[in-house]
Amino acid sequence: MSRSAHPAGPRHADVLPEGHYSAPPADLNTLDPKVWAQTVDRGADGVVRVGGVDVKALAEEFGTPAYFLDEADFRARARAWRTAFGQDADVFYAGKAFLSRAVVRWLHEEGLNLDVCSGGELATALSAGMPADRIAFHGNNKSTEEIHRAVEAGVGRIVLDSFQEIVRVAHIAQELGKRQRVQIRVTVGVEAHTHEFIATAHEDQKFGIPLAGGQAAEAVRRALKLDGLELIGIHSHIGSQIFDTSGFEVAAHRVVGLLKDIRDEHGVELPEIDLGGGLGIAYTSADDPREPHEIAKALTEIVTRECEGARLRTPRISVEPGRAIVGPTAFTLYEVGTIKPLDGLRTYVSVDGGMSDNIRTALYDAEYSVALVSRTSDAEPMLARVVGKHCESGDIVVKDAFLPADLAPGDLIAVPATGAYCRSMASNYNHVLRPPVVAVKDGDAQVIVRRETEEDLLRLDVG
């Protein structure tokens, strides 16, 4: 089929149904550096490259769909967080955003710590050589077995999430003849400005122990009495994909308030405060994320000011960015399949993946960008919806985006900013195989998570 042979559909700005988009961008060939990984650019031949390797070569070698991760960018972002917070603070990368053994090694080399929230994440971290004392173990329903493994391995901290868990961890630590360093996760009652499903500091939800009604203070009382625990601090995580620091400000104020109450009641100044993760990234050109050094400055100032006000020694701060480190570093490469123009609506562009490699659009109504990357085009913009191959009408990858009207089956398109919560939330829906993650750096591409095979799938079937 020639590039222009498919039937004419809604091509440009004079047919614009309801949607998230604004006007089509002036030039569809230009890649906004805000949403693409650092080393991504378009070569003189029009083909987009990452780490010096062009996407046609990558597609040929590794197939599509696939996630391509810019290793230099990942390391630079990890380092930027580390440097911004300096020696008096700790940066824990949140493994839930994306974890693999290679990533664990990079983090170790760049001097970051790691936040894990399941036995699987813990196993990955330990097997790739992350020292246990640099691991924080999270979760609202850690199993006895997980706690046992974490304490036995000697994790640097367990973040306690409930009254029951306080007793459970203390008991297991005592059984193992250890004293486990712990923090208590509190909910500070902040409404973070983000999607309801990823906001975590309001009280009506499953995470943490509310400050309200003195519950957190009671948790501290109990933890301080138990021999198996060494209470080192208070933890707060207010949500995810947040752009302004005002929520953190309120959280810091309330957490420091608790530290002061603890000092007054028990004569103990807890040495640490963890403000969680949650910093937003640019998924589209409309997003304006803050830089790590701005965030570090703001958070450090808030905590210092609050502590001075309460006459407390400033505790050691830690943060847990996941998305802000890995999110912008990868894009998903797809091959265009069926193209279906719907008169007066938009053109449906089907790709060879979908909600199994990126559930975020279906789950959070997330917005993404997309670009034709295997060539340039001077064709006019066409309002497109990029959809997957799953048996579900909500299987949308990019809800509203402009792509050139001469888009054709076989073209490669890429969705940027898919490093976080895409591979890590991938599924086998419709027995579609989960894509590989390929790290690209200095002209070299290395598979760090291989593509799933039908054999992998069949291996789980019994009988």
Q: Which long-range contacts (CB under 8 A, 24 or more apart) does 132-137 make?
A: 132/156, 134/108, 136/92, 136/183, 136/274, 136/320
Q: How far is the CB of 86 from ligand LLP (least distance, A)?
A: 19
Tell me the window of 1-9, 253-261, 302-310, 321-329 that interacts with ligand LLP (CB under 6 A). Answer: 321-329
Q: How far is the CB of 159 from ligand LLP (least distance, A)?
A: 7
Cis bond before residue 65 (omega within 30° of 0): yes
Q: How far is the CB of 12 from ligand LLP (least distance, A)?
A: 32
Q: What amino acid occupies position 375?
A: R
Nearest Cα to Cα of residue 224 among 277, 274, 184, 178: 184
Provide the strand spans (E) within 25-173: 41-42, 48-50, 53-54, 66-70, 89-94, 113-116, 135-137, 157-160
Structure tokens at 248: 């953190």
**Is there a contact between 363 and 426 (Cβ–Cβ < 8 Å)?**
no
Q: How far is the CB of 296 from ligand LLP (least distance, A)?
A: 14
Which of these is catalytic: 117, 307, 391, 422? 391
- DSSP three-state, residue 269: coil
Residue 94 or 299: the one with the smaller Cβ distance to ligand LLP is: 94
Q: How far is the CB of 432 from ligand LLP (least distance, A)?
A: 19
Residue 4 or 427: the one with the smaller Cβ distance to ligand LLP is: 427
Please report whether residue 165 would count as binding ligand LLP according to CB under 6 A: no
Provide the strand spans (E) within 188-325: 209-210, 229-235, 272-274, 316-319
- DSSP three-state, residue 424: helix
Q: Which long-range contacts (CB under 8 A, 24 or more apart) does 23-29 make?
A: 24/381, 24/383, 24/402, 25/285, 25/381, 25/402, 28/371, 28/372, 28/377, 28/381, 28/402, 28/403, 28/404, 29/372, 29/376, 29/377
Please report whether residue 95 would count as binding ligand LLP according to CB under 6 A: no
C-alpha span between 97 and 140 (Å, rounded)? 17
Tell me the window of 66-74, 123-131, 213-221, 271-279 that interacts with ligand LLP (CB under 6 A). Answer: 271-279
Please report whether residue 324 would count as binding ligand LLP according to CB under 6 A: yes
In this structure, the chain runs to a length of: 463
Please report whether residue 139 would count as binding ligand LLP according to CB under 6 A: no
The one among 277, 341, 353, 416 contacting ligand LLP by CB under 6 A: 277
Q: Annotate each residue in 187-206 with x if it binds ligand LLP (CB under 6 A) or - if it does not, as one string.
A: -----------x--------
Please report whether residue 322 would count as binding ligand LLP according to CB under 6 A: yes
Q: Which residue has the tokens 């906001």?
A: 199
Tell me the window of 83-91, 93-101, 123-131, 259-267 that interacts with ligand LLP (CB under 6 A). Answer: 93-101
The one among 113, 240, 300, 361 contacting ligand LLP by CB under 6 A: 240
C-alpha span between 79 and 323 (Å, rounded)? 15
Q: How far is the CB of 368 from ligand LLP (least distance, A)?
A: 12
Tell me the window of 258-266, 300-308, 322-330, 453-461 that interacts with ligand LLP (CB under 6 A). Answer: 322-330
The verdict on whether 307 is a catalytic residue reads: no
C-alpha span between 256 and 263 (Å, rounded)? 10
The one among 10, 278, 404, 416 contacting ligand LLP by CB under 6 A: 278
Residue 80 or 373: the one with the smaller Cβ distance to ligand LLP is: 80
Q: Which residues, listed in sequence order, are joined to residue 385 by a DSSP beta bridge?
A: 348
Residue 28 or 255: the one with the smaller Cβ distance to ligand LLP is: 255
The one among 77, 323, 399, 441 contacting ligand LLP by CB under 6 A: 323
Tell me the window of 11-19, 61-69, 94-102, 118-126 that interacts with ligand LLP (CB under 6 A). Answer: 94-102
Structure tokens at 112: 């970051």
Residue 53 or 201: the one with the smaller Cβ distance to ligand LLP is: 201
Q: How far is the CB of 327 from ligand LLP (least distance, A)?
A: 7
Nearest Cα to Cα of residue 333 among 442, 429, 455, 445: 445
The one among 124, 241, 347, 374 contacting ligand LLP by CB under 6 A: 241
**Is there a contact between 228 and 174 (Cβ–Cβ < 8 Å)?**
yes
Contacting ligand LLP within 400-459 (CB under 6 A): 420-421
Q: What amino acid occupies position 277?
A: G
Tell me the window of 100-108, 163-171, 233-241, 398-406 that interacts with ligand LLP (CB under 6 A). Answer: 233-241
Report the interface residues with ligand LLP, using CB under 6 A: 94, 96-97, 115, 138, 198, 237, 240-241, 276-279, 320-324, 360, 364, 420-421
Catalytic residues: 391
